[in-house]
Chain A
Amino acid sequence: MTTRRNVLKGLVAGGAATLMGQSLFAKAAQAATSSQGTWHVTGSHWGAIRALVKGGKVTDVQPLEDDPYPTDMIKGIKGIIYSPSRIKYPMARADWLDNRENADRTTRGDNRYVRITWDEALDLFYEELERVQTTHGPSGLFAGATGWRQTGLFHTCINHMNRAVSMHGNYVRKVGDYSTGAGQTILPYVIGSTEVYAQGTSWPVILENADTVVLWASDPLKNLQVGWTCETHESLPYLDELRDKVAAGEIRVISVDPVRSKTQKHLNSEHLYVNPMTDVAFMLAIAHTLYTEDLHDKEFLDIYSLGFDQFISYVMGEGEDATVKTPEWAAEICGVPAEEIRSFARLLASGRTQFLFGWSLQRQQHGEQPYWMGTILASMLGQIGLPGGGVSYSHHYSGVGVPQTGANMPGAFPLNLDLGKTPKHDLHNYKGASNVIPVARWVDMLLNPGDKIQYNGHEVTYPDVRMAVFTGCNPFHHHQDRNKMRKAFRQLETVVAIDFAWTATCRHADLVLPACTQFERNDMDTYGAYSNTGVVAMRKLVDPLYQSKTDYEIFTGLTDRFGRAEEYTRGMTEMQWLRQMYDTTKAANDGRFEMPDFDQFWEDGMVRFQRGENWVRHAAFREDPEINALGTPSGFIEISSRTIEKFGYDDCGAHPKWMEKAERSHGGPNSDRFPIWLQSCHPDQRLHSQMCESDEYRATYAVQGREPVYISPEDAANRGINDGDIVRVFNDRGQLLAGARVSEDYPQGVVRIHEGAWYGPVDASIGALDTYGDPNTVTMDVGASKLSQATSANTCLVEIEKFEGVAPPVTSFGGPIEESL
């Protein structure tokens, strides 16, 4: 190879030098020869792990040895850190950078970004906060949406963003969440607590005492893989014990579900198929059977509940609809034969019955009703508060049912302003609009400023929002009706997104700030969100990649722009905070739970506590309903609610009722045009949309690079679809490509696409084909009812066809793995 060179002089030389720049290398000390690496303990939503760090890289990730039931998703963690979807630099949307609020908003999502420096980025962030506060006031800013963030109590991004933005000014916030919006709103009126996030009866108690366990639209084996904080997986071995008891004939487990679930298959238990969205009709008929066959516990109802008479007269056809809710009536709707309904009701009343409800059931239109009915059926059986009886709405979540140690856990970085502090702009004029919005209605809010809606007994007026800030939160996954949402995003003048990966939310933002992953910062976490099994040290594995920063650094930089950085940090470093959090917890546990000093803890990676005592939910209420009254308006179980009745809502009344849905499969409205029900439940191989960007792991379940759509053999055959085909799933709201997985677990007329599949439209236009398979491209964005205004994601009908021709490449991710190899 030649090394001949031409000598350039003068201007030509100068020009060439300008283009060449300086060497990208510098002299460096010779690195030490590669070692064996070091294993470090850290925590995650997927459990505690050991990570091998070698040569500045995470090279291996293994579950902690004593994790009794590690999730397969551990394999995806490396792919999160080293995903090509990582945000590498602060980026700004090109048109917005030049024109800000006057920029063309129809081009959101078209991928025209430029790299900017951190200084520029934080200046822009601050300038926009200033502009919006001073021009539009607090009703112009929406910074309330939050999501499942990365784990770590100090770096929890929700708190960092809220604290920093609150130092600048007030803003519109949210109430509720997408997971349990209807459930957490109705149950306080009925059984006196949100229940969905409450500790439940200990698993050993259920295993010991229950004769029948009803898994109602609940798939704990799937959902217990992940936890809100570092998950211990201690609840999963109980499912193995349950399987053994099923095999031994000691407990009957019945899964009430349109689909054969992962848990049902694991337990090898019974399946009771119900038509989608018809559970309330089925339940009313069970109530009818219990009542007419005198199987209900009248004494329990008398002592512990109110309003049974009003409810039962509706069941018996004495209400306005003059329809007796017989099993024959219900069979027509729910698809369960009348005799089977009767025998199921008798079974429930024949011994100790524990209901375990999942959350999917309440993420539908009128999602309050089946949850309310769950408490009513349990009340009629009279076993609420007994070991192995009653009703739970949480056993599939974050280790609920594992006895709690009782130890104090570390708190978190403060979300709020310090005592006595006020924002830089302490403005409170929301211009007649509400400052809190039911979370699932914020897209309506963007589209209809000034409109009024009913919510939980009061009126909400939508503010005129101009700017939104999202951190660790991906509404372009969790909100419904992508195309409506894209329209709504055009209302926003400025969108700031802080994340570590290019989610679709970031791709629709104007200013995108790269946070580092949790594996690139020091932190600690509660080990077991409910069990409080211990505290896990989260030692930084590698330095932040590219120019990403911790949320702490990002918001220190932001608050510094208005002179509040010292207040924001309280003058402490990351490690000082951790030390203080730990020491405070140690002091709080002093004398009750042994904790080593911080340095030892940091070295060990974990401190564990003795498992707590077994416990029975609602036992105290049963023991003494006067002293231990429920949190309902009356203090008793409210089978009928006068409080709700007084709201006068047509879609949530005095007691549960069967109400037809806007669209429903199996003969319901609109099923002639779109005959298939799409369920979009929590994924088996992700945590919502987290880890979808982990390319190698995604490749283990994707079908031709697309998100799987699970379909029955009958529906597939009728449409000429084979397992492994790319299909188009569509309705009037949108269209997506997915990969067909034909499965016997699905009945005719039912398909599933797990939520959290990354949205990747072919272009920025409204209605664009989604290339990967985000189910919310086709779901409906209406409130579950005026009571909760929660998501109705599971009220969704579609049609499916085999996709012919050359499928457009997937645009959701940064990696080329599907395309080039």
Chain B
Amino acid sequence: MGIVGAAKGFWRTLRKPPATISLGVLSVGGFITGIVFWGGFNTALEVTNTEAFCISCHEMRDNVYQELQETVHWENRTGVRATCPDCHVPHEWTNKIARKMQASKEVWGAVFGTINTREKFLAKREELARHEWARLSANGSLECRNCHDYDSMDWDKMSDEAVFYMRPAAELNTGCIECHKGIAHHLPERSADSSPVVAALEGRAATSLSDGQDYFAYRPVTVFAGEDMAEPAGQLNLAARIEVLETKGDKVHFEMKAWRKDKGYGRVLYDDFGLNARVAVLEKEAAQNAELVQAGTPRNDDNTGLDWSQVTVKLWAAADGFVADDEQLWDVAAESYSSSCSSCHAQPDPDHFSTNAWPALFAGMVGFTNMDATEQELVLTYLQNHSSDNSESH
């Protein structure tokens, strides 16, 4: 416990145990009531569109096919089973041809042995998975929606929690794969932005950014000095507020107003004067580059004796890591806090402690939870933003 930086959790399609119902379980209740029976799957397709064909390669049979059999897509109370071609071969004929062409790479791989052992397969899994996710993202989760769609979901039969997560996604018509990665096969080894909170927020991301508007990072966002996005200049914390200067394609140039302490290299940026709520961590070079970071006159913080300066930072980032409304972040954070921090005791109200007290209290107890580093960051930021410093009641 308490191992700083060791991201313990992974983005679990099945979310936090057990105070919350897992998304996997939710999808049983929520999706199945939404299933449209459209008359059987791919009944009369050529041989490469059959399950038998797919598992004739041992790489498929021994890895992903085994994993599928543990999931609700294999066995459920409706008796409907999804097999390989239902999800992985586009149902529309011409797309199907295109897909099979792409699949030849895997066939090739099998022949030349790039995934012919479990270890090699695992090493390659992320690449393969990302490939499929990108395809499903691009087509709006078309194959999923052959059976599931928002319109036929029975909202009354879903738990409050399921509705909580599903509603915003439905409103934005978000594709299924954005939140339900890993629904049929194991997930790849962890990667940086693979936290369950990020997965929960993905469905709420702003699809386009408007100039002059404020947005909030919903996952750790790498920032860059220049438009070419060649040299990373640091990273935004979850919930960091940016003001959009301009967008260029999938990139955004933004400005951020923050504070930093004058002890150290000035790499850590905070939300407000004297308050230890982090918004970004910059590389040393970037932090000391006056072109990127303009610092104001130092002001002494009477609570610590340290000098703080206000800074204005102008940087670039990919445009897809933001939400328009920070309440979206707080919703997810509040739910995580409420369920993760009540295993042993009643969790204190956020406004029971000050912004500067929360980091210590949180650090002292968070090791008892399953939160990964990203989720910890989001929850701590939530607590600091709703602390006694921000509350009228204390």
A and B touch in the complex (CB under 8 A): yes
Q: State the A residues within 8 Å of B (CB).
A: 144, 146, 153-154, 156, 158-159, 162, 173, 175, 184, 187-189, 192-199, 228, 306-307, 404, 406-416, 418-421, 436, 457-458, 529-530, 532, 570, 577, 580-581, 583-585, 587-588, 590-592, 612, 615, 620, 625-636, 638, 642-643, 646
Question: Given known contacts A626-B267, A630-B360, is B17 in contact with A197 (CB within 8 Å)?
Answer: no
Q: At the interface, yes or no: B368 with Cβ under 8 Å from chain A? A: yes
Contact A631 B164 (CB under 8 A): no
Q: Is B87 an interface residue (CB 8 A)?
A: no
The reply to whether A144 and B346 form a contact with Cβ atoms under 8 Å apart is yes
A436 CB contact (under 8 Å) in B21, B261, B352, B359: B352
9 contacts between A and B (CB under 8 A): A158-B345, A162-B346, A195-B364, A199-B2, A420-B160, A591-B10, A591-B122, A634-B261, A643-B304
Question: Which residues of A have CB within 8 Å of B24?
Answer: 587
A197 to B366 CA separation, bound complex (whole angstroms): 10
Interface flags for B161-190 (1: CB within 8 Å of A; 0: not) read: 100100000000000000000000011111
Please indicate the chain A residues that have their CB under 8 angstroms from the CB of B22 in the complex. Answer: 580, 583-584, 587
**Chain B 14-46 interface mask (CB, 8 Å, partner A; 1/0):** 111111111011000000000000000000000
Max chain B CB contacts within 10 Å: which of A159, A588, A643?
A588
Contacts of A408 in B (CB 8 A): 8-9, 17, 370
Contacts of B13 in A (CB 8 A): 587
**Which of B143-151, B206-214, B335-343 is the contact stretch?**
B335-343
Are B340 and A411 touching (Cβ within 8 A)? yes
Report the nearest A residue to B342, measured CB to CB.
Answer: A415
Judge whether B6 and A192 touch: CB under 8 Å.
Answer: no
Name the residue among B10, B338, B347, B370 with the largest chain A CB count within 10 angstroms: B370
Known: A159-B343, A198-B363, A415-B343; 8 extra A-B contacts, CB below 8 A, are A188-B357, A194-B360, A306-B304, A408-B17, A414-B20, A418-B161, A591-B187, A630-B360
Q: Across the interface, which residues of B come within 8 angstroms of A196, CB to CB?
A: 364
* Contact indicator per residue, chain B 104-118, by CB within 8 Å of chain A (1) or not (0): 000000000000000
Query: Across the interface, do A404 and B1 meet the contact criterion of CB distance under 8 Å?
Result: yes
Would you call B349 an interface residue if the criterion is a C-beta within 8 Å of the partner chain's C-beta atoms?
yes
> Which residues in B have some Cβ–Cβ distance to A below 8 Å?
1-6, 8-10, 12-22, 24-25, 122, 159-161, 164, 186-190, 261, 263-265, 267-268, 276, 281, 302-306, 335, 338-340, 342-349, 352, 354, 356-365, 367-368, 370, 388, 394
Chain A neighbourhood of B1, CB < 8 A: 198-199, 404, 529-530, 532
Closest B residue to A619 by CB, please name it. Answer: B4
Q: Which of A192, A409, A420, A632 contacts B164 (CB 8 A)?
A: A420
Q: Contact check: which of A175, A307, A410, A629 meets B18 at CB < 8 Å?
A: A410
Q: A198 and B343 in contact (CB under 8 A), knowing A412-B18, A633-B276, A642-B303?
A: no
Given A410-B17, A412-B343, CB of A592 within 8 Å of CB of B10 = yes
Contact of B335 among A419, A458, A626, A643 (CB under 8 A): A419
Query: Which residues on B sit within 8 Å (CB–CB) of A407?
Result: 8
Within the complex, which residue of A195, A199, A412 is in contact with B342, where a contact is CB–CB below 8 Å?
Answer: A412
Which residues on the B side are within 8 Å of A156 (C-beta)? 343-344
> Is the pair B164, A419 in contact by a Cβ cutoff of 8 Å?
yes
Q: Which residue of B lies closest to A633 (CB)?
A: B356
B303 close to A197 (CB less than 8 A): no
Nearest-Cβ distance from residue B335 to partner chain A, whole angstroms: 6
Contact B345 A146 (CB under 8 A): yes
Asked if B14 and A416 make an inter-chain contact with CB atoms under 8 angstroms apart, the answer reads no
Say yes or no: B304 contacts A591, CB within 8 Å: no
- How far apart sit A264 and B306, CA to CA, in the bound complex (Å)? 43
Contact A414 B368, beta carbon cutoff 8 Å: no
| A228 contacts B344, C-beta separation under 8 Å | yes
| Closest-CB distance, B14 to chain A (whole angstroms) | 4
Q: B338: nearest residue on chain A (CB-CB)?
A: A416
Q: Find out whether the CB atom of B14 lies under 8 angstroms from the CB atom of A159.
A: no
For the complex of A and B, 6 pairs with smallest distance between CB atoms: A194-B364, A631-B360, A188-B360, A631-B359, A199-B2, A415-B342
Most buried by A among B17, B19, B302, B359: B17
Given A415-B19, A626-B265, A646-B303, A588:B346 Cβ within 8 A = no
Instruction: Tell me which residues across on chain B come within 8 A of A421, comparing CB atoms.
Output: 160
A639 vs B215: C-alpha distance when bound (angstroms) = 39
- Distance to closest chain B CB from A368 (angstroms): 14
Q: Which residues from B are CB-within-8-Å of A159? A: 342-343
Shortest CB distance A312–B (Å): 16
For A590, give the chain B residue with the smallest CB separation: B186
Point out the residue from A194, A413, A628, A635 that lies within 8 Å of B4, measured CB to CB.
A628
Q: Which of B19, B122, B263, B356 contacts A412 (CB 8 A)?
A: B19
